Amino acid sequence: MSVGTGEEGLSTKIIEVHDFKQLEELGRKNIEGKIVFFNRLMDPTMINTFGAYGKAANQRTRGAARAGVFGSVGVVVRSLTTSQDDFPHTGVLMYNDTVPKIPAVAISTNGANLLSEWLKIDTELDFIFRTTCYELPEVTSYNVIGEIRGSKFPDEIITVGGHLDAWETGEGAHDDGAGCMQSIEVLRLFQKLGIKPKRTIRAVMFMDEEVAQRGGKEYARQGALKKENHYFALEADRGALMPKGFGVSALDDRLEEILALKKYFEPYGITYFKKGGGGVDIGPLKQFGTPLSSFVPDMQRYFDFHHSGNDTFEHVNFREFQMGSAAIASFIYLIDKYDL
């Protein structure tokens, strides 16, 4: 994620900011040689936690590149979570080639609050900054795919996928071990129940979702090379939390028919069937006109886990996981059965 700064680390002044505009107001004279501490909260009043994440994320993705312009020597970024915890929540960070690549680290929300309090007492605080992170050389890795061949239209492929890679701070249990397992569960449940789908159902564990989505891109590239017929695709990448429903992107008539599946799910409290679905791994299938959908679980607890050491197996609730698997398997079953 970031550039190391040696064994002794760096001891220098630190300055708290909340957005990029503030960097410009402060200017090089106040920032040069200092560490910039981005402490913008992920807005807890937003019911759409992914929206709140989106509004706070640029301090992590672009903070180092932006602070570097003003001569900052490193950035410390408040973790993107509404929970108060001691876990640094990490994630992708982008540099650009015109600015020095200064190191960046995440600080937990508890740590950020404490640091902010200290800075109120003493603005001349020395901050010791040491990171041992480095980037490993790239290696070849693979998507992992399993399928049940269709009984009637084997060439029509329904993809159900999650991603295999994860931020190394935790186990990637919710992001996205759960999505991988729930995709495999579709195949297992079909087999266990003796369901023989008309179409080929593929569980795909995509590689490299977190950095450059090369697994998803390659999957679609191979699909084009092999002239595959991608009938439908679903991505499960929002954690194994209580199923709420599905988001779907498809053309109007087909969209309407798919969203009408809601009636089968309502008795289980699964009522979110709305336009707008997909996922970064299945996104490249759009070139084939394939309808894309997202499994949508409850999002209130997701950022408690996301990209942190808290994203571990024991934080996956088995009942929620099972209910999600059942919802996805039922959805795919109905898509195939009713030729939607």
**Residue closer to a second copy (CB basis): 82 or 200:** 82
Residue 298 within binding range of a second copy, rule CB under 8 A: yes
Residue 301 within binding range of a second copy, rule CB under 8 A: yes
Output the smallest distance, CB 236 to a second copy, in A.
Answer: 18
**Who's near 240: CB < 8 A, 6+ residues apart?**
173, 174, 178, 179, 181, 182, 297, 316, 317, 320, 321, 324
CA 74/CA 4 separation, integer angstroms: 10
CA 69/CA 24 separation, integer angstroms: 10
Q: Which stretch binds a second copy (CB under 8 A): 20-28, 181-189, 282-290, 313-321?
A: 313-321
Residue 305, Ramachandran bin (φ over 0: left; ψ between -120 and 50: alpha; else beta): alpha
Whether the Cβ atoms of residue 69 and residue 37 lie closer than 8 Å to each other: no
CA 211/CA 4 separation, integer angstroms: 19
- Cis ω before 86 (30° cut-off from 0): no
**Residue closer to a second copy (CB basis): 166 or 299:** 299
Residue 317 within binding range of a second copy, rule CB under 8 A: yes
Q: Which stretch binds a second copy (CB under 8 A): 99-107, 156-164, 203-211, 262-270?
A: 262-270
Residue 320 within binding range of a second copy, rule CB under 8 A: yes
Other C-beta atoms within 10 Å of 339: how many? 11
**Residue closer to a second copy (CB basis): 63 or 170:** 170
Residue 72 within binding range of a second copy, rule CB under 8 A: no
Residue 300 within binding range of a second copy, rule CB under 8 A: yes
* Residues making contact with a second copy (CB under 8 A): 44, 47, 82-84, 242, 244, 267-269, 271, 298, 300-301, 304, 317-320, 323
